[in-house]
Every structure is written in C-alpha cells, then in structure tokens.
Structure 1
C-alpha cells in the first residue's frame, strides 16, 4: 500500500510530466500503469510525442 508521501510525490512528478509535455494528452490510466517504472514512463512519453528516449530521460532527471 502506498503511503501518503509516495502518492504526493507521484502527483508532483505526474503534474510536471504533463507540464513539460503539455502538447501531449496523457490518460490517467496510462500514467498509473507507468507509475514507478522509468522505462514505461519514457516509452509512454516517446509514443505520445515522438521525442527521443535520451532527451526524455534528460528532462526526467531534472524533475526527479
């Protein structure tokens, strides 16, 4: 079971992902499936934006 702090942390990361890639539309179910797994998050963003996985990882490292 996730703690309150973990849920708040995920919400912060999710909101930052949506802000950085604001031109992409992320479904909450997709985001929940990718939660906590960097390769899934990178893949989801790549599928939505076409941006390179390396660039996505660079941007993700700045928010984590």
Structure 2
C-alpha cells in the first residue's frame, strides 16, 4: 500500500510539472492543483480558467502526458 501511494505521488508530481511546463504562462496555485488532483475534468477546467485555451485543445495535450 505504501509503495502504491508513493508511486501515485510520483506520478502526480510528474503530471503537475508537465502541466506547469506546457502552460508556463499560467499561474497555478498549489492549493488549486491539489484540489484538482486525480480529477481529469477539474484539471482541464483549472487550466481552461487560467489560460482560456479551448477545452478540446487542453484535453488533447493532457491525453498526451497521461
């Protein structure tokens, strides 16, 4: 169980860092990122709110990093 949790944390950090790299102009608050963690729709919505990029484009980019 501990290893699975650590793996999930590592995966989340990787995804979070890639989101910040792709949308480097957006200012992502760590609390907002934590609330969206694990919820694809919330993450897409957060990116959309910060960047006003079309949702379908965000989904395409997110699918590439997941």
**TM-score, scaled to structure 2:** 0.93
Residues 3-53 of structure 1, C-alpha deviations (whole Å, 9 max, x = no match): 100000000000000000000000000000000001100000000000011
Q: Where has structure 1 moved over 4 Å in runs of 4 or more?
A: none
Structure 2: state its 5+ residue gaps: none
Match of 1:30 in 2: 32
Root mean square deviation of aligned Cα: 1.3
Does structure 1 residue 57 correspond to structure 2 residue 64?
Answer: no
* CA distance in structure 2 between the partners assigned to 1:42 and 1:52 by the alignment: 10
Greater CA radius of gyration, 1 or 2? 2
CA distance in 1, matches of 2:54, 2:37: 20
